[in-house]
Chain A
Amino acid sequence: MSQPILEIKNLHAGVEGKQILKGVDLTINAGEVHAIMGPNGSGKSTLAAVLAGRDGYEVAEGQVLYCGKDLLEMDPEERAREGVFLAFQYPIEIPGVNTTYFLKAALNEIRKHKGLSELDAVEFIELVKEKMKILHLPEDCLKRSVNDGFSGGEKKRNEIFQMAVLEPKLAILDETDSGLDIDALKVVSEGVNKLKRPDNAQFVITHYQRLLNYIIPDYVHVLFDGRVVKSGGKELALELEERGYESLVGHELQPA
């Protein structure tokens, strides 16, 4: 079998002196969709931040390999150029930075890194138009500043739209479903599904089994108090929905 896209080995990490991840192990192969679920505060967003390279997170122990390379050594922009993409739980508003300009700059950085030619304005607009159709994103969003004044749902859609344009190898979606109405949820999930390829992988963080009706995971993991305490197939999500985290894992663990 070929090299995994992501291998997390015994990852311990924290922020501001607080230990949050306490030994995470996880392997994601090309073509797979993994879902990670877990109660509030269990460390899901922390894991995403550590993978994306956010400043201020200290890794105390463990290793993360991305396509065989040491991911934790890389700057956030380097990770992105190598194909890691994080759809933020809370996308940042950046007034004054035009969305089209920003996204074109991002795409061209990634293309340069891959040794591809940069797209000019016309080529870029063509690409964008095509991708917009997938997400049903209002055209006006592109003319505005990045996420500035976007509704919660628009922000989430914009994240997936960016993913569609940047075509990552590993997409980490942090609660992309929260704040979306049913119709938007369908559109966004369909978008995500269309972006699935045999050579990439998706890592979906969610609280609700609802999303997993649309984005069908190959594996479901339960993160609890900084550790993956249970893994299984998609049926695990249903089980969780029915019984809750406590009854599933509570007897196995002392809460922190």
Chain B
Amino acid sequence: MKETDPYLAKFDELIAPTAGRHPSWVFPLRKAGIARFAELGFPTLKDEDWRFTNVAPLAKLPFKPVFGANTDGVAAKAPGRFTFADLNGPRLVFVDGHFAKEVSTIPSLAKGLKLGSLATAVVSDSAFLEKHLGRYVGTEKNAFASLNTAFFQDGAFIHVPADVAVREPIQLLFISTVRETGATTHPRNLIIAEKQSRLTVIESYVRTVDASYFTNAVTELVVGDDAVVEHVKFQDESREAFHIATVHGQFGRHSRVNAHSFALGARLSRNSIHVNLAGEGLECILNGLYLTKGEQLADHHMIVEHARPHCASHEYFNGILDDKSKGVFHGRILVQQVAQKTDAKQTNKNILLSDEAAVDTKPQLEIYADDVKCTHGATVGQLDDDAIYYLRSRGIGLETARQMLIHAFAGEIIDRVKCDPAREELDKLVWERLEANPHVAEKR
């Protein structure tokens, strides 16, 4: 039996019977997804894009896609107890991948702004979604995005019309509540910000259980000309869980996009972020922080594709790794021949709090244009001894000195979040996590 067989069987059992359902374009999309997944199979360490991240433990899990969700338990507890609970603004809550209307908050919206369940929109906005859903994310080489396309149940659909500025951040809260090992959800988001619009989206993945479930998410983020968009992805899954996410961005002329990734949870997490800089003169910042301990692995795999001239892309990723945990950063920058005057910058910095923690970091530049500025740098190390000495020489204790420096290191990333309440909350949360870590203060 092949590793993918149970997935195909589940598809035949659960998805195929829905083939006749309206709208008719959906099933072929799913079918193409499962076919692609069957062809690709799970990636292995031989796969260049997965050299440092072994998904064998994930492939071995029983595959139990979750259909339907019980939101009772969550309604009582959630969403008040999760990160960003105090933020004002619309909040869509998804329980095990299904929209939970009762616990969501959708205040009256700006004219023309659409915000709600993707499953609903597939029917109600069929023509529009047919044009966009799955048209951006490359499933060609991405087995997990293909699998998501085959099985997705729900997620968010956000459509901001041209010239509309959405003032408050929109929260998408994905809560895992299923205890069953191998329980799998396929959140699927489609976010479209038309030209000259403004939007902040906070997409967070949290849980109520410490189980070995699998979240396989895909987000397509389409940003029109002159639009200003901030996307914050926050992942705080169970330490037993697997979290694989693909974020695909397509950005228009003169747009300004800040996309952040905060990876705190999961036994194994992978963020595949592929942005296509498809319009001239745009600026995009990809910014991320991963904190790992125990045997966690946090992987960020970036593809920044400069397809037009005069674009700037800046990637900043910092990792703080403890115990036997591992960080992976693979940053590919692809500059097409037409993309003259490209300014691409990439940095990946890591602090190891334990001798057993490790990082694999790999830049990959493919440049076909001649007039470009491309820089990259990676560091892996301990805290700066000179800085610690300087702080101590002023009376600050060793413990506090170490905490200050680690906080500063995380702060470099957190400070780039423009949405004030989100930034403050992240700062508080990361600080709490770090303070709870005995190795942060310890002298090594």
A: residues with CB less than 8 A from B are 52-55, 75-77, 79-81, 85-86, 88, 91-92, 94-97, 102-103, 105-107, 109-110, 113, 145-146, 162, 166
CB neighbours of A105 from chain B (8 A): 396, 400, 404
Which among B387, B394, B396, B407 has the highest number of chain A CB atoms within 10 Å? B394
Q: Chain B nearest CB: distance from A141 CB in Å?
A: 16
Contact between A166 and B395, CB atoms less than 8 A apart: yes
How far, in angstroms, from A95 to B349 measured CA to CA in the complex?
A: 14
Q: Give the dominant DSSP class at B's interface.
A: helix
With known contacts A55-B385, A77-B398, A102-B404, A96–B412 Cβ distance under 8 A = yes
Q: In the complex, what residues of B have CB within 8 A of residue A96's CB?
A: 405, 407-409, 411-412
Closest 8 CB pairs of A and B: A96-B408, A80-B395, A106-B394, A92-B390, A76-B392, A109-B395, A77-B392, A110-B395
- B389 in contact with A95 (CB, 8 Å): no
- Considering the chains assembled together, what is the distance between the CA atoms of A114 and B405 in angstroms? 26
A212 CB, nearest partner CB in chain B, Å: 25
Q: A77-B396, A92-B386 are in contact. List 14 more A-B contacts (CB 8 A).
A: A55-B389, A76-B392, A77-B394, A77-B401, A80-B394, A92-B387, A96-B412, A105-B396, A106-B394, A107-B395, A109-B395, A109-B400, A113-B395, A162-B394
Minimum CB–CB distance from A12 to chain B (whole Å) comes to: 22
Q: Is the CB of B394 within 8 A of A94?
A: no
29 contacts between A and B (CB under 8 A): A54-B393, A55-B385, A75-B398, A76-B389, A76-B393, A80-B392, A80-B394, A85-B394, A88-B390, A92-B390, A94-B384, A94-B387, A94-B390, A95-B408, A95-B412, A96-B407, A96-B409, A102-B394, A102-B396, A105-B404, A106-B391, A106-B396, A107-B395, A109-B395, A109-B396, A113-B395, A146-B390, A166-B394, A166-B395
Shortest beta-carbon distance from A248 to chain B in Å: 32
- Chain A residues within 8 Å of B89, by CB: none
Q: Does B397 lie at the interface of the complex (its beta carbon under 8 Å from any beta carbon of A)?
A: yes
Is the Cβ of B408 less than 8 Å from the Cβ of A97?
yes
Of A55, A97, A145, most B-chain CB atoms within 10 Å: A97
Query: In the complex, which of the residues A53, A94, A145, A166 contacts B391, with contact meaning CB atoms closer than 8 Å?
Result: A94
Q: B405 — which chain A residues lie within 8 A by C-beta?
A: 94, 96-97
A97 to B385, CA, bound (A): 15
> What residues of A have a CB within 8 angstroms of the CB of B386 in the complex?
92
Interface pair B393/A86, CB less than 8 Å apart: yes
Residue of B nearest to A95 (CB): B408
Most buried by A among B396, B397, B409: B396
Determine how close the nearest CB of chain A comes to the CB of B265; give it in whole angstroms.
24
**A96→B412 CA distance, assembly (Å):** 6
Interface residues of B in 367-399 (CB under 8 A from A): 384-387, 389-398
A138 to B397, CA, bound (A): 28
B397 touches A77 (CB 8 A): yes
The distance from the CB of A50 to the nearest CB of chain B, in whole angstroms, is 12
Compute how far the CA of A95 lies from the CA of B415 in the bound complex, rounded to whole angstroms: 12
Chain B nearest Cβ from A17, distance in angstroms: 18
Render B402-421 as a binary contact track against A, CB cut-off 8 A, 1 for contact.
Answer: 00110111011000000000
Chain A residues, Cβ within 8 Å of B407: 96
- The smallest beta-carbon distance between B182 and chain A, in angstroms, is 41
Which residues on B sit within 8 Å (CB–CB) of A55? 385, 389
A72 to chain B, nearest CB (A): 15
CB neighbours (8 Å) of A109 from chain B are 395-397, 400
A65→B329 CA distance, assembly (Å): 51
> In angstroms, how far is the closest chain B Cβ from the Cβ of A143?
13
Which residues from B are CB-within-8-Å of A145? 408
B246 to chain A, nearest CB (A): 31
